[in-house]
Structure 1
Amino acid sequence: MKAYGASDIGLKREQNEDHIYYAYNEAHYFLGLVCDGIGGQNAGDVASKIAVDIFKHAFQHADALHDDESVRKWLKKQIQTANDEIFAIASGSYEYKGMGTTISGVLITSKESAYLFNAGDSRVYGLYDQLVLLSEDHSFVNDLIKRGEISEEDALTHPKRNMLTNALGIWDDVKMDLNRINPAYRALMITSDGVHDYVPLAIMQDVVADGHLGTKEKVERLIALANRAGGYDNSSVVLVEKEVPYE
């Protein structure tokens, strides 16, 4: 498999509060993460880095993720550890009060076993015949959409579109979505909202499915498109592709 990831400050923000991680470990598992920090001053940057660092350290030593239950336990442990550390620092410091971070990721342990996990509104997509959203946003506007109170188009301009209902570090306990991914994917992509809020799904699909572009080129193009749309937020992408030719 081929993988690449990048993060960009955008054109409007003073700092980049996103952190990403993607790597294989000695057990030949793959982990990809996008964390989008929230909070005033540099607190969001701190929270997202804490989450990435905890996962990175644990993943380098993870070697027994051989079934659904072991994966579930490992992911739940890392999520809770990251939540506890961010929450403790935020609770004990005025400077970091209220900080938190989204987290979305994929864990691939074999050709047939891939998992997504998510808390917040960063996203996981899968390329099959089409590019499909695999994760579910934990946000106020997504709850409104599910209840049929607003449309997806309305959500793009809703005044509370950035309000999250779940994230790491905000509460002393955290909920995490964890789902097994259909292994027939051609590619898996993780994005922060600085990308998927500004680049339409059809355009993202055209880029990811383009057989003439390399993995790195696809990531760079998606970030460039986010900046071309205004660059209003930090933008991050992690893309992992199976090494098979695209039609």
Structure 2
Amino acid sequence: MDYYGASDQGLKRELNEDSYCCMENKNGDFLAVVCDGIGGSAAGEVASKMAVMHLQERFCKADAFANEPAVVHWITSVIEEANDQIFTAAMRNESKRGMGTTCVGILCSNERTFVFNVGDSRVYALYADSFLAMTEDHSYIADLLKNGTITLEEAKVHPGRNMLTNALGVWDHVKIDIHKIREDYELLLVCSDGLHGYVSEDTIKAVLQSRSHTLKEKVELLIQLANDMGGYDNVSAVLVSKEADVTNG
């Protein structure tokens, strides 16, 4: 397995409220997470860092997963713990009131890959025959699209396009989507909406399909493309390949 991640402040924001990690633990399992903080000022940055640090710490200490239910249980419990920590911290500090974060990622264990999501950051998978979003946004716009209330074109300019219906730390309970995906993927992309909200999926797919760029170069190109579109948001991306990155030589 090979992987590379990066995060960028963008061109308009005063600070970067995204946080991410990509790591292997002592059991040979792999975790990649992207969190996009919400709440303004430094609060979003605090929430995203709290979430990522908690997942990292728990993953480093995790016992080997005996089976698939054990993986699902671990993801659920650790994200619920992170939600409790952020929610409690916000309640205790008025300046952090309302802070929260999205949380999206993948966990690979025993040749099985699980995707988990809270909010509107995303995981994409590039297969030989398709390029698919493996997560469903928890947002007001996603609900409107699902109900057929608005079109994709209307969604791009809708005044409520940044409204989340689910996030870590904002409510005392959190909804977590978790599912296992097909193992024959070529690449997985974990990213914040600073990427998918500004760069088209066709363009993202073309970058991932490139045979002349390393994983690092692809991540850097994706971030550059987001900034070329105006750099209105922080942008984070982690690319994961099941095979060694042969373009690195």
Structure 1 length-normalised TM: 0.97
Do 1:117 and 1:177's aligned partners in 2 also have CA atoms closer than 8 Å? yes
Kindly state the Cα deviation for residue 134 of structure 1 after the two structures are TM-superposed.
Answer: 0.6
What secondary structure does 2:20 align onto? strand
* Equivalent in the alignment of 1:120: 119
* Equivalent in the alignment of 1:153: 153
Do 2:40 and 2:99's aligned partners in 1 also have CA atoms closer than 8 Å? yes
For 1:192-229, what per-residue CA distance to the aligned partner results, in whole angstroms no more than 9, with x for missing partners?
00000111001100101111111100000000000001
Q: In the superposition, relative to structure 1, how do residues 232 and 108 fare at CA in structure 2: closer, same or farther (>3 Å)?
A: same
Matches within 5 A, 1:212-231: 212-231=212-231
* Equivalent in the alignment of 2:105: 105
* Equivalent in the alignment of 2:93: 93
Structure 2: stretches of 5+ with no match in the other structure: none
Identity rate, percent: 49
Runs of 4+ residues deviating >4 angstroms: none
What secondary structure does 2:96 align onto? coil
Structure 1: stretches of 5+ with no match in the other structure: none
Matches within 5 A, 1:202-241: 202-241=202-241
Do 2:123 and 2:133's aligned partners in 1 also have CA atoms closer than 8 Å? yes
- Return the letter of the residue paired with 1:204: I
Matched, 1:42 2:42: yes
Kindly state the Cα deviation for residue 244 of structure 1 after the two structures are TM-superposed.
Answer: 6.9
Kindly state the Cα deviation for residue 242 of structure 1 after the two structures are TM-superposed.
Answer: 2.2
Matches within 5 A, 1:59-70: 59-70=59-70
CA-based RMSD: 1.2
For 1:155-207, what per-residue CA distance to the aligned partner results, in whole angstroms no more than 9, with x for missing partners?
11110000000000010011100010111111111110000011100110010
* Equivalent in the alignment of 1:7: 7
Kindly state the Cα deviation for residue 26 of structure 1 after the two structures are TM-superposed.
Answer: 1.1
| Range with greater deviation from structure 2 (61-70 or 101-110) | 61-70
Do 1:5 and 1:216's aligned partners in 2 also have CA atoms closer than 8 Å? yes
Q: In the superposition, relative to structure 1, how do residues 245 and 33 fare at CA in structure 2: closer, same or farther (>3 Å)?
A: closer
For 1:41-95, what per-residue CA distance to the aligned partner results, in whole angstroms no more than 9, with x for missing partners?
1000000000000000011112322321101110011111100000001111111
* Equivalent in the alignment of 2:17: 17
For residues 11 and 118 of structure 1, the distance between their equivalents in structure 2, rounded to whole angstroms, comes to: 27
For 1:107-128, what per-residue CA distance to the aligned partner results, in whole angstroms no more than 9, with x for missing partners?
00133x0000000000000001
What secondary structure does 2:6 align onto? strand
Q: Which has the higher helix share?
A: 2
Matched, 1:170 2:178: no
Q: In the superposition, relative to structure 1, how do residues 152 and 67 fare at CA in structure 2: closer, same or farther (>3 Å)?
A: farther
Kindly state the Cα deviation for residue 40 of structure 1 after the two structures are TM-superposed.
Answer: 2.2
For residues 245 and 100 of structure 2, the distance between their equivalents in structure 1, rounded to whole angstroms, comes to: 40
* Equivalent in the alignment of 1:200: 200
